[in-house]
Amino acid sequence: MQVFQTDKIKNVAVVAHGGAGKTSLTEAMLFNTGVLKRLGKVDDGNTTADYLPEEIKRKVTTNTALAPCVWQKHKINVLDTPGYSDFIGEVKGTMRVVDSLLFTLCAVSGIEVQTEIIWEYANDAKLPRVAFINKLDRENADFYKVVKGMTESLEGSNAVPILLPIGKEEAFKGVVDLLGMKAYVYENGTATKQDIPSDMKEDAETFREELIEAAAESDDELLMKYLEGEELNAEEIKNGLKLGMMNGKITPVLCGSALNNIGIDILLDFMVSYLPSPSDLSQAENIESKPLAALVCKTLSDPYVGRLSFFRVFSGVFKADSVVYNANKEEEEKISQVFVMQGKEQLPVSEVMPGDIAAVTKLQYTETGDSLTVKQDPQILEGIEFPEPTLTVAITPKSMGDEDKVGTALAKLMEEDPTLRLEKNKETKQTLLTGMGELHLNIITDRLQDKFKVGVDISDPKVPYRETVRKSVQKVEGKHKKQSGGHGQYGHVYIDLSPTDESFLFEAKIFGGSVPKQYIPAVEKGINEAMEEGILAGYPVTQVKAVLVDGSYHPVDSSEMAFKVAGALAFRRALEQASPILLEPVMSIKVTVPDNYMGDIMGDLNGKRGKIMGMEPQGRTQIIKAQVPLSEMYRYAIDLKSITQGRGSFKMKYSHYEQVPEIIATKIIEEAKIPAEE
């Protein structure tokens, strides 16, 4: 593929709620620009952007795909992103390296949840955006309703139609271009330029006037001219629109049908003429001559070439057969081949200019979010803030002995996906995998099977309960005496046991040498080991203070081992007498939800034995702070999505342990005894 200069590059992420037609729109753009000879379809599993096995199988995008095309001597890097909340990390990573967003909206469904969420991200990132209302050929499609919905639901959208549809639903056949005031009627994807239909002229004039007014309002000079009644020329309107988009004050709205290839050529024209290039947004002059600075935005394991690292060049020129410096890891990386990716197809290039997006293979140290630069002048670019995963499951290999294979496979998947977390819980002895939701984790387990040939079973994690005591007991005896020929074993201790706020305290108050000093550490060690398994349900014991107060020894048969056993015996007997109870971990959570869901969320948290600690307004949302037992929170990501239709989010961290209610504790203790009885 030829090399394009920075001012001839457009980096555009296609974003939407799942099902709005992003992938079909990407496919139509590739077809119109000559990259493809025929239009692929998501239902047929033959699109350029959805090429992973799980995408073809499920007919949903799970992975951002790069699909560059050339239109009017400009290179458009189209990045087709997932539309489901479980893969929002892919969208966040992509937004860091693009210069504008193309929101795809379904003409039937209108403004959906994921569109609202990504819109808020776009506001935070101050990214210019354009909207394309798709599927106008469908039953119940309504262009004007969607435009109105944008204004009502998307903060600061100021939706300004650039195109109006000709015909409705099955009769949809073309568009009116309000910039050129001409109609384009399509047959088999080919447009014929015509005069505006007479029944649409009045609407076209009204919407064109709104368009000109919006363009004028983006610039004081243009506004003055407009208010004085002077007519703005085409160039002034164009400049006003571009400025309004750059400032986030205008969202141009185009429309059409990706599947029927209506309006796609006009969309491409608009993208080339109006969307910013990297040079429009760069603060630096001559970014080509600056030292190299590139950001790795995505990592993918390719079965044929190994690890693929996608990157965007922010300054300098990235060359094949060179050495770059990873400023985050402080390591040099050898670069052999550099590729421009076309879906899964790799097109070798000799160099990558500032602003462009490409990929390189087999980097040894580099991860997503790292900066590739030069050692003499290292620069660490702003990284990528990925959302925290919230749904945790326990995983076990289906085949005995596959633990290492599962670990290796998951390590590779975590290189690709920064929204995955893996940990081994020492208390429950479980391997815990945390992801963004059910679909995310299901796809990860599918990939383990399909890509790495290891199967895993998923279950709810065990709660790391603990045991403690409620009252103090004094002088509880532990005696270990054994005679078996030769030296015997003799250890004899008395301990006091009491509750404490510390996890464990040990003290020796021995008078008169009843337990020799050299054996005291062995007593503590025996108690420590006994604490690993409580007497109620076998959970670790915590928040106790043990005091060694008395004992006796034998000058020949006493040993460290004997006193260790005696310490453990005394501790277990003391536990039985000190009113043992079960403790559960309690989490501090912050739930962010739109105002209208606040009552439902608070009711749900109360039903989960939660304590509401306070509320805090944040714009149009509320942050609810609460403390909830961990046992009630493992499926909360699913519950919250269901209650808020995907509009809520939450963060959770450990707070403290507290007593389990008696009715629940009884059930936990009974369940713990079942395996032993069997």
The answer to whether residues 306 and 369 belong to one domain is: yes
Do 542 and 638 fall within a single domain? Answer: no
Are 164 and 53 found together in one domain?
Answer: yes
At how many degrees (to 10) do helices 234-246 and 201-217 cross? Answer: 60
CA distance 83 to 19: 7
Indicate whether 256 and 159 sit together in one domain: yes
Q: Where is the domain boundary, 330, 345, 373? A: 373
Retrieve residue 354's tokens. 């500032």
Tell me, yes or no, whether 541 and 477 share the same domain: yes
Give a yes or no: residue 203 inside a domain: no
Q: Decide the pairing of beta strands 456-459 and 391-397.
A: antiparallel
**Is 534 a member of any domain?**
yes
Give the pLDDT score at 417.
93
pLDDT for the residue 48: 86
| Co-location of 491 and 566 in the same domain | yes
Q: Are 538 and 464 in contact (CB under 8 A)?
A: no
Based on the fold, state whether residues 81 and 115 are members of the same structural domain. Answer: yes
Stretches where the chain sits below pLDDT 50 are 676-678
pLDDT tens for 35-72 read 998 888 888 888 888 888 888 888 889 999 999 999 99
Is there a domain that residue 504 lies in? Answer: yes
Question: Does residue 221 lie in a domain region?
Answer: no
> Is residue 433 domain-shared with residue 554, that is, in the same domain?
no
Domain-embedded: residue 140: yes
The three-state secondary structure class of 103 is strand
d(CA 348, CA 371): 22
Q: Is residue 382 part of a domain?
A: no
- Give CA–CA dist 387/180, Å, rounded: 43
The domain spanning residue 304 has which CATH number?
Answer: 2.40.30.10
The Cα 598–Cα 264 span in angstroms is: 42
CATH number of the domain bearing residue 625: 3.30.70.240
Domain boundary among 459, 482, 509: 459
Q: Are 107 and 253 in the same domain?
A: yes
Pairing of strands 163-166, 174-177: antiparallel
What pLDDT is recorded for position 284?
A: 60
What CATH number does the domain containing 29 carry? Answer: 3.40.50.300
Residue 183: CB partners within 8 Å, gap ≥ 6? 166, 174, 175, 176, 177, 193, 194, 195, 196, 197, 200
Residue 109 has a pLDDT of: 96
- Sign for the CA dihedral angle at 108, 112, 118, 123 comes to positive
Q: Please tell me the predicted confidence (pLDDT) of residue 310.
A: 96
49 close to 31: Cβ distance less than 8 angstroms: no
Q: Which range of residues forms the domain containing residue 509?
A: 467-578
Are 434 and 542 found together in one domain?
A: no
Domain count, the chain: 5
Give the pLDDT confidence score for residue 678 in this predicted structure. 38
Is the distance from CB of 652 to CB of 633 less than 8 angstroms? yes
Contacts (Cβ under 8 Å, ≥6 apart) of 284: 290, 315
Helix (H, G, I), strand (E, B) or coil at 302: strand
Residues 6+ apart with CB under 8 A from 59: 42, 43, 45, 50
Q: Which CATH number belongs to the domain containing residue 478 in this structure?
A: 3.30.230.10
Task: Indicate the residue type of 19.
Answer: G
Quick one: which of 81, 631, 114, 149 has its CA closest to 392?
631
Say which DSSP state 85 is in: G
Is the CB of residue 407 less than 8 Å from the CB of residue 364? no
Beta bridge partners of 493: 478, 551
Instruction: Answer whether residue 175 is part of any domain.
Output: no
Distance CA 529, CA 342 (A): 59
pLDDT in tens, 633-665: 999 999 999 999 989 999 999 999 999 999 999
Cα 90-95-100 angle, rounded to 5 deg: 135
Residue corresponding to tokens 């491409």: 268
If asked whether residues 41 and 108 sit together in one domain, one would say yes
Sign of the alpha-carbon dihedral angle for 534, 537, 540, 542: negative
Q: Which CATH number goes with the domain that contains 395?
A: 3.30.70.870
Helix (H, G, I), strand (E, B) or coil at 342: strand
Domain end, chosen from 373, 400, 418, is at: 373
pLDDT at res. 675: 54
What confidence score (pLDDT) does residue 518 get?
92
Residue 197: DSSP 8-state: P
* Residue 349 belongs to some domain of the structure: yes
Task: Kindly state whether residues 557 and 478 are assigned to the same domain.
Answer: yes
